């Protein structure tokens, strides 16, 4: 920045000040590091000078001054030690959310002040702490209640939500304050409902409406994240969550004018549902609407409309297609896998529908379960993912769809893919999961194609394996014994080198290391007895 512009900004001569502000803002529109000002000490001088102008009620160039403050706040070098309560209160007042009462600032001034506050709260720990005791959250919540009047413009509502999202995301104390003291969850659900009613006839959002809805959903996510010290009575909290899920259910039926943006809406809904209790998930499924049997938003299943469940499953499919990079898997897939697990745990009907889509009766089992483009294939491939969180979520989803039946899980995934789940849950050696919670009626309906080759399916691989010649054929007993001992010696060598660790199945159904490979011989009689019991 040239010295002349800086001198005019610091001089305070109002006729020249506006031109200097315009020049400064234009020059620094893309600047995020004001090292030339911070190293010389001029950043602090300019910062304080700009706030002196703003605090003067007769100052005519508030928008330009706020834009300059917004640009300077991108550099946090001296922000914590420079910003003070009076400056923050000045911005709150100009934004229309201060404690001093009504502000007659123009909409442009309020919007720029909100942008400055967002930058300050994002950049400064001190500002975050000050917002615990100032009027920021109360002011925003008070204005949210006025949205129904229709007098608050879109941009102010949008940046209100942006600011509230930052406040509730960064500071858990503010989050609790908004939720418990200011009844934020109830008011924001009403706000979401208000936006939906405005577009109720067409059930379609334009870009601006979609942006607002997405911001509300983000704030709702912050407010629904569980905190152990919540003071809301359980009954009241349950009512709030049920109301939330009912509104979210209706939101699934809305579309966007820009079809490419529907995923952003669905993504925010899914993120929100991750923090909703399982007991509320049944509100996502409703009775069939007999008056509109041809509607595209009706998916009949056992007398219910499971359209929302269909959307969730298709959302998973789309994200599998997007998550080609391993680094993207957790961020993209974790929320929807969590939501689907909660969905199928909520009711048997939900589980049966999702199972019919993800684990339909097997027909072609010539390829391994993890090979292919179906949902089952993608999920089976994740079972051995290096991202253990994703592997665990995929395993739980498939296991619950299989009613926690070990044999059924092996049938759909192969023992090799599911071994990690069985080991973690102590289900090795033929133990079963918690199958008592599921109905006893079987949902398996093996196809004729599957039955014809069932005898030749390799349970470890989970697919058909053509007959192979016996490698021991033609060997004498002495040769077989020699080869066996060679194998033992090689495995013992690998164990001593720390490359492999042989294990046997313990009494708890989990693998336990052995000191020598020959200890595995002790397992053979027990395995033979288990095999006889199963056959």
Domain boundaries, the chain: 366-464, 487-534
pLDDT band at 202 (very low <50, low <70, confident <90, very high): confident
Residue 532 reports pLDDT greater than 50: no
Q: What is the pLDDT of residue 506?
A: 75
**Can you tell me the distance from the alpha carbon of 94 to that of 103, in angstroms, rounded to the nearest whole number?**
7
Count other C-beta atoms under 10 Å from residue 304's C-beta.
Answer: 18
Taking only the tens place, the pLDDT of each residue in 84-123 is: 999 999 999 999 999 876 678 899 999 999 999 999 999 9
Q: What are the pLDDT digits (tens) for 68-81?
A: 999 999 999 999 99
Average pLDDT over residues 173-190: 92
Q: Name 306's Cβ contacts closer than 8 Å, sequence gap at least 6.
A: 285, 299, 300, 349, 350, 353
Q: Give the mean model confidence (pLDDT) for residues 266-276.
A: 95
Lowest mean pLDDT among 21-35, 180-194, 429-443: 429-443
User: Using alpha carbons only, what angle is made at residue 30 by residues 24 and 34, rounded to the nearest 5 degrees?
Assistant: 65
Mean pLDDT of 155-184: 94
pLDDT band at 283 (very low <50, low <70, confident <90, very high): very high
pLDDT grade, residue 364 (50/70/90)? confident
Per-residue pLDDT band at 533 (split at 50, 70, 90): very low
Cβ pair 134, 85 in contact under 8 A: yes
* Closest by Cα among 196, 199, 189, 248 to 219: 189
How far is the C-alpha of 207 from the C-alpha of 491, rounded, in Å? 63
CA-based nearest residue to 24, from 46, 44, 40, 41: 46
| Banded model confidence at residue 241, pLDDT cuts 50, 70, 90 | very high
| Three-state helix/strand/coil letters over 290-325 | CCCCCCCCCCEECCEECHHHHHHHHHHHHHHHHCCC
- Cα(462)–Cα(368) distance, integer angstroms: 6
The 3-class secondary structure across 170-199, one letter per residue, is: HCHHHHHHHHHHCCHHHHHHHHHHHHHHHC
Q: Are 412 and 403 in contact (CB under 8 A)?
A: no
Query: What are the structure tokens assigned to 99, written together?
Result: 């404690």
Q: Identify the burial level of 164 via C-beta atoms within 10 angstroms of its C-beta, where 0-12 means exposed, 13-18 middle and 19 or more buried.
A: buried
Residue 96 tokens, joined: 């229309």
pLDDT above 80 for 425:
no
At residue 531, the pLDDT reads 45
The Cα–Cα gap between 535 and 529 comes to 10
pLDDT of residue 229: 54
**By the 8 A CB rule, do 504 and 512 touch?**
yes
Q: Are 508 and 426 in contact (CB under 8 A)?
A: yes
Tokens of 36: 């030339």
For the entire predicted model, the pTM comes to 0.85
Give the span between the Cα atoms of 54 and 51, in whole angstroms.
5
Please tell me the least confidently modeled range out of 127-136, 145-154, 230-239: 230-239
pLDDT bracket for residue 535 (50, 70, 90): very low
Mean of all residue pLDDT scores within the chain: 86
pLDDT in tens, 291-350: 665 577 889 999 999 999 999 999 999 988 776 666 677 888 999 999 999 999 999 999
Share of the chain above pLDDT 70, in %: 86
Task: Determine the pLDDT at residue 238.
Answer: 85
Give the residue with greater pLDDT, 4 vs 177.
177
> Tens digits of per-residue pLDDT, 184-197?
999 999 999 999 99
The answer to whether the Cα torsion of 59, 64, 65, 70 is positive or negative is positive
Q: Is the dihedral of CA 380, 386, 388, 390 positive or negative?
A: negative
Q: Compute the average pLDDT of residues 347-364.
A: 92
The full 3-state SS of 227-295, as one line of letters, equals CCCCCCCHHHHHHHHHHHHHHHHHHCCCEECCHHHHHHHHHHHHHHHCCCCHHHHHHHCEECCCCCCCC
Three-state DSSP class for residue 98: coil
Radius of gyration of the chain from Cα atoms? Answer: 31
Tens-digit pLDDT profile for residues 484-493: 888 888 888 8
Distance CA 181, CA 518 (A): 66
Cα–Cα dist 451/443, whole Å: 16
What is the reported pLDDT for 365? 77
């Amino acid at each position: 920045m040239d010295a002349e512009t800086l001198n005019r900004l610091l001089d305070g001569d109002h006729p020249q000040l506006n031109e200097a502000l315009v020049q400064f803002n234009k020059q620094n529109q893309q600047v995020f590091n004001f090292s030339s000002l911070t190293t010389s000490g001029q950043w602090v001088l300019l910062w304080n000078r700009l706030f002196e102008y703003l605090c003067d009620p007769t100052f005519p160039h508030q928008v330009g001054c706020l834009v300059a403050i917004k640009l300077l706040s991108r550099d946090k070098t001296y922000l914590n030690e420079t910003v003070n309560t009076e400056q923050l209160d000045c911005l709150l007042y100009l934004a229309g959310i201060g404690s001093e009462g009504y502000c007659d600032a123009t909409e442009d001034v309020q919007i720029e002040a909100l942008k400055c506050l967002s930058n300050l709260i994002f950049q400064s720990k001190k500002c975050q702490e000050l917002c615990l005791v100032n009027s920021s959250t109360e002011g925003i919540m008070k204005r949210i209640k006025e949205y129904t009047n229709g007098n608050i413009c879109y941009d102010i509502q949008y940046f209100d939500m942006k600011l509230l999202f930052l406040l509730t995301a960064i500071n858990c104390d503010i989050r609790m304050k908004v939720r418990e003291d200011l009844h934020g969850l109830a008011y924001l659900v009403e706000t979401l409902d208000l936006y939906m009613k405005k577009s109720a006839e067409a059930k379609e959002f334009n870009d601006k409406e979609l942006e607002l809805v997405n911001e509300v959903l983000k704030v709702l996510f912050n407010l629904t994240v569980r905190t152990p010290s919540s003071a809301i009575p359980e009954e009241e909290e349950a009512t709030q969550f049920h109301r939330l899920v009912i509104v979210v259910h209706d939101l699934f039926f809305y579309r966007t004018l820009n079809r490419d943006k529907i995923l952003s809406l669905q993504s925010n809904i899914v993120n929100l549902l991750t923090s909703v209790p399982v007991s509320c998930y049944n509100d996502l499924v409703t009775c069939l609407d007999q008056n509109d049997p041809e509607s595209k938003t009706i998916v009949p299943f056992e007398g219910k409309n499971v359209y929302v469940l269909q959307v969730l499953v298709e959302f998973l499919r789309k994200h599998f297609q997007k998550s080609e990079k391993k680094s993207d898997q957790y961020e993209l897939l974790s929320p929807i896998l969590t939501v689907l697990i909660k969905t199928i745990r909520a009711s048997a009907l939900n589980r049966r529908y999702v199972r019919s889509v993800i684990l339909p009766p097997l027909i072609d089992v010539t390829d391994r379960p993890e090979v292919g483009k179906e949902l089952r294939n993608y999920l089976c491939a994740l079972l051995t993912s290096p991202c253990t969180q994703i592997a665990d979520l995929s395993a739980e989803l498939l296991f619950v769809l299989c009613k926690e039946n070990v044999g059924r899980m092996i049938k759909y995934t192969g023992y090799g893919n599911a071994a990690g789940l069985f080991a973690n849950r102590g289900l090795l050696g033929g133990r079963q999961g918690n199958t008592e919670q599921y109905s006893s009626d079987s949902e398996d309906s093996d196809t004729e194609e599957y039955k014809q080759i069932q005898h030749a399916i390799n349970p470890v691989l989970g697919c058909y394996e053509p007959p192979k010649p016996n490698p021991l054929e033609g060997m004498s007993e002495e040769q077989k014994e020699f080869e066996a001992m060679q194998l033992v010696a090689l495995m013992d060598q690998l164990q001593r080198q720390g490359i492999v660790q042989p294990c046997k199945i313990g009494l708890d159904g989990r693998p336990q290391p052995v000191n020598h490979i020959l200890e595995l011989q002790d397992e053979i009689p027990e395995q033979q007895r288990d095999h006889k019991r199963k056959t």
